[in-house]
């Protein structure tokens, strides 16, 4: 064979090998694709309890905003969110509609049988009584669980109600002995599920710092927020919005407790919103955990026999008798009728909020939506009881472009959940539209959604909200209330405590106590300092930076090896540890901070089981 023939023969062999390899590749690829296709086909054969088909699916936690997507629901939870077609026993055609997490009203009142249906029609799936609440949460939760309600429900420890049992007037201060008893009651309430502590300082001006600070310290110890109706609501001396905010910021700074300011458009920010928000922003930059809420109305409402109408109210709020109207009627007041209705304890609305204050508050990234109302028999209520959430979207997103739709959804679902979820784990499954979340969902027409409730008719239901699902069941079906669905679940605080015998970690020449938290093992962060790391704590950002140190390892860190006492609270305060690319969420036990053992693997230490409840890092 000559050289040319040899080259041709070699070429033919290479070509045959190429064809053979290509055929094998096609076969292997075909098998792989066939496997994937088989899995996809199997998945597509799943029949969900309910499918929401073809909607604009929005999840404020991730920023997901997709048109024509589908949501599959099984067993009361979201099973899948996808662009692929799904099969369901029941299918909701959401073409042209927005599909979003159900709204969470965290500044509401008790879920009475009348008002809860107006909440449902306004897209609310979780009603939390954090302005008010109860002094006896065990009885409160039991009552509403038995009475059945279509919305999920929770409450704060309401300090005013607790203090009323001591027959103190609104202008009286509690004695030291009474304060001690009230703190005990509050601690019991938190252990019975109360979501935080609430104060109404303007309505009970006799409450002093001597009463507030022990409650703040308790709230910090239990990692729950304190909600405040601030002490002042105007800019008239003595006692201005600035004084009110400085008081609350001072409590937060002194105790480290999370603080929420109720309806800042009517308390703490009226006539001073720009300056009031700057106060809060400065406090937040200093690391204080402070938030607020707003209702989207330029008029407030309260009872005429409250302290808000003490002498001088006309100058404080820059209004006259004619600026007051009895809610649920068309009656504007005069001096004579004011006196009569005040004796009757009627609720009046006051046309006394500049709309620019509402707009500024809505734009603040740490201000969420809260209604501060729920409709009651007799309809003597502010229209925010029925229209808060639809009005936020219809007026301030679609018409005025104050907010983006995604921002509004976040303020109405995700942010209220995040405000309370540290110790209320059920809220971690709400306010999001994603796999594994509770199927609390609102579906609305963005083009037509609006509030219909008015001062004269606060009972009118909102327009444009088509479907509301609570736990996967339709409480509002194609615009019609389904009063057979009453599946609301309690939203409670829960607390994990240290148990004995969790184990030990052998690390180098030292042993460290290990604690068990929700099935994971944790060890004191300060153990890193004994293993050649330097820790830098940034309390403002709630972050711990761990860096390898060239200096000799610290010979001893007081208490790092010791086990925390049995029964101590184990809390998620939002602290994180970063060491290079390794990151982990931390837990707090007393004044100590613990990191998961899994973090050591990321740092290059091999953690192995060395025996019964003993681990070894090498």
Q: According to CATH, what is the number of the domain 100-298+353-481?
A: 3.20.20.140
The confidence score (pLDDT) of residue 35 equals 42
Predicted pLDDT at 555 = 55
Judged against a pLDDT cut of 50, whether residue 4 lies above it is answered with no
Q: What is the pLDDT of residue 540?
A: 84
pLDDT at 291: 98
So what's the pLDDT on residue 7? 44
Task: Quote the CA–CA distance of 545 and 529 in Å, as a whole number.
Answer: 12
In Å, how far from its chain's centre is CA 196? 13
Q: Which residue has the higher pLDDT, 38 or 503?
A: 503
Question: How many degrees, rounded to 5, is the angle at CA 472 between CA 460 and CA 426?
Answer: 95
Contacts 24+ apart (CB under 8 A), 241-246: 241/268, 241/269, 241/270, 241/271, 241/272, 241/275, 241/276, 242/272, 242/275, 242/276, 242/279, 244/201, 244/268, 245/276, 245/279, 245/280, 246/279
Distance from C-alpha of 122 to C-alpha of 479, rounded to nearest angstrom: 11
Answer yes or no: is pLDDT of 275 > 70: yes
Q: In the prediction, which pLDDT does 419 show?
A: 98
Tell me the DSSP string of 452-476.
Answer: ---SS-TTPPPBSEEEEEETTEEEE
pLDDT of amino acid 553: 54
C-alpha to C-alpha distance for 101 and 124, rounded to whole angstroms: 10
Q: What is the DSSP string of 98-144?
A: EEEEPEEE-B-----TTHHHHHHHTTEEEEEEEEEEES-HHHHHHHH
Q: What is the pLDDT of residue 554?
A: 56
Q: How confident is the model at residue 560 (pLDDT cuts 50, 70, 90)?
A: confident
Among 579, 366, 611, residue whose Cα is nearest residue 596: 579
Neighbours of 257 (CB within 10 A): 26
Q: Which residue has the higher pLDDT, 611 or 237?
A: 237
Confidence bin at 402 (pLDDT 50/70/90): very high
Does residue 238 have a cis bond before it (omega within 30 degrees)? Answer: yes
Q: What is the pLDDT of residues 322-378, one digit of tens each?
A: 999 999 999 999 999 999 999 999 999 999 999 999 999 999 999 999 999 999 999
Convert the pLDDT of each residue in 204-219 to its tens digit: 999 999 999 999 999 9
- Which pTM was predicted? 0.91
The Cα–Cα gap between 389 and 295 comes to 9
What pLDDT was estimated at residue 31? Answer: 33
pLDDT digits (tens, 9 = 90+) for 438-457: 999 999 999 999 999 999 99
**DSSP element (H, E) containing 562:** none
Per-residue pLDDT at 501: 81
The proportion of the chain whose per-residue pLDDT surpasses 90, expressed as a percent, equals: 86
Write down how long the chain is: 618
What is the mean predicted confidence (pLDDT) over 378-392? 98
Asked which of 11-20, 177-186, 328-337, 403-412 is least confident by mean pLDDT, the reply is: 11-20
pLDDT digits (tens, 9 = 90+) for 32-79: 333 444 444 455 689 999 999 999 999 999 999 999 999 999 999 999
Q: Give me the pLDDT at residue 558, please.
A: 63
- Average pLDDT value over all residues in the chain: 92
Q: What is the pLDDT at residue 387?
A: 98
583 three-class SS: strand
Per-residue pLDDT reduced to its tens digit, 513-554:
999 999 999 999 999 998 889 999 998 889 999 999 876 555
**What is the pLDDT at residue 612?**
75
User: 578, 581, 572: which is closest to 536 by C-alpha?
Assistant: 578
pLDDT at res. 618: 84
Question: What is the CB-side half-sphere exposure of residue 127 using CA atoms within 13 A?
Answer: 33
Helix (H, G, I), strand (E, B) or coil at 80: strand
Q: How far is CA 199 from the centre of its chain?
A: 19
| pLDDT over 90 at 315, yes or no | yes
Smallest CA-to-CA distance from 186 within 204, 169, 165, 208 is with 165
Residue 224 CA neighbour count, 13 Å, CB half: 29
| pLDDT confidence bin for 492, thresholds 50/70/90 | very high
3-state SS of 528-553 is HHHHCEEEEEECCCCEEEEEECCCCC
């Amino acid at each position: 064979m000559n050289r040319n023939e040899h080259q041709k023969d070699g070429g033919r062999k290479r070509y045959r090998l190429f064809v053979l390899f290509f055929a094998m590749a096609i076969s292997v690829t075909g098998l792989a694709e066939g496997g994937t296709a088989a899995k996809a086909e199997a998945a597509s054969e799943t029949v969900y309890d309910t499918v929401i088909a073809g909607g604009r699916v929005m999840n404020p936690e991730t920023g997901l905003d997709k048109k024509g997507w589908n949501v599959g629901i099984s067993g009361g939870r979201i099973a899948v969110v996808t662009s692929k077609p799904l099969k369901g026993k029941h299918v909701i055609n959401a073409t042209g509609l927005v599909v979003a997490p159900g709204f969470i009203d965290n500044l509401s009142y008790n879920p009475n049988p009348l008002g809860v249906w107006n909440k449902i029609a306004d897209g609310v799936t979780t009603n939390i009584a954090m302005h008010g609440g109860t002094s006896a949460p065990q009885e409160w939760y039991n009552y509403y669980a038995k009475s059945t309600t279509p919305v999920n429900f929770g409450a704060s420890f309401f300090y005013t109600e607790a203090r009323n049992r001591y027959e103190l007037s609104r202008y009286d201060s509690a004695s030291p002995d009474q304060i001690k008893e009230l703190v005990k009651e509050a601690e019991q309430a938190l252990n019975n599920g109360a979501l935080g502590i609430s104060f109404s300082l303007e309505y009970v001006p006799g409450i002093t710092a001597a009463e507030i600070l022990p409650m703040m310290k308790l709230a910090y110890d239990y990692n729950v927020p304190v909600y405040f109706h601030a002490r002042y609501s105007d800019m008239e001396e003595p006692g201005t919005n600035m004084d009110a905010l400085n008081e609350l910021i001072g409590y937060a700074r002194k105790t480290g407790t999370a603080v929420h300011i109720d309806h800042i458009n009517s308390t703490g920010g009226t006539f001073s919103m720009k300056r009031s928000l700057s106060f809060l922003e400065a406090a937040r930059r200093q690391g204080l955990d402070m938030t607020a809420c707003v209702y989207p109305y330029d008029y407030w409402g309260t009872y005429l026999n409250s302290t808000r109408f003490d002498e001088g109210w006309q100058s404080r709020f820059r209004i006259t008798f004619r600026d007051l109207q009895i809610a649920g009627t068309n009656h504007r007041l005069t001096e004579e009728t004011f006196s009569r209705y005040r004796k009757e304890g009627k609720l009046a609305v006051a046309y006394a909020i500049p709309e620019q204050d509402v707009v500024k508050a809505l734009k603040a990234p740490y201000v969420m939506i809260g209604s501060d109302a729920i409709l009651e028999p007799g309809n003597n209520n502010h229209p925010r009881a029925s229209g808060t959430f639809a009005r936020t979207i219809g007026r301030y997103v679609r018409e005025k472009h104050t907010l983006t739709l995604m921002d509004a959804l976040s303020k109405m679902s995700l942010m209220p959940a995040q405000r309370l979820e540290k110790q209320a784990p059920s809220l971690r499954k709400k306010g999001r539209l994603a796999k594994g979340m509770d199927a609390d969902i609102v579906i609305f027409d963005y083009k037509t959604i609006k509030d219909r409730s008015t001062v004269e008719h606060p009972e009118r239901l909102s327009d444009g909200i088509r479907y509301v699902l609570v736990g996967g069941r339709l409480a509002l079906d194609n615009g019609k209330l389904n009063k057979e669905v009453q599946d609301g679940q309690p939203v409670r605080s829960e607390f994990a405590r240290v148990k004995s015998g969790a184990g030990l970690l052998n690390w180098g020449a030292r042993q460290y106590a290990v604690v068990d938290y929700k099935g994971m093992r944790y060890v004191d962060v300060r153990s890193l300092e004994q293993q050649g790391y330097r820790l830098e704590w940034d309390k403002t950002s709630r972050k711990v930076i761990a860096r390898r140190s060239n200096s000799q390892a610290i010979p001893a860190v007081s208490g790092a090896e010791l086990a925390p006492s049995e029964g101590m609270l184990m809390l998620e305060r939002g602290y994180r540890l970063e060491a290079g690319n390794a990151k982990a969420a931390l837990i707090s036990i007393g004044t100590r901070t613990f990191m998961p053992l899994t973090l050591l693997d990321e740092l290059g230490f091999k953690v192995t089981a060395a025996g019964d409840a003993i681990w070894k890092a090498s």
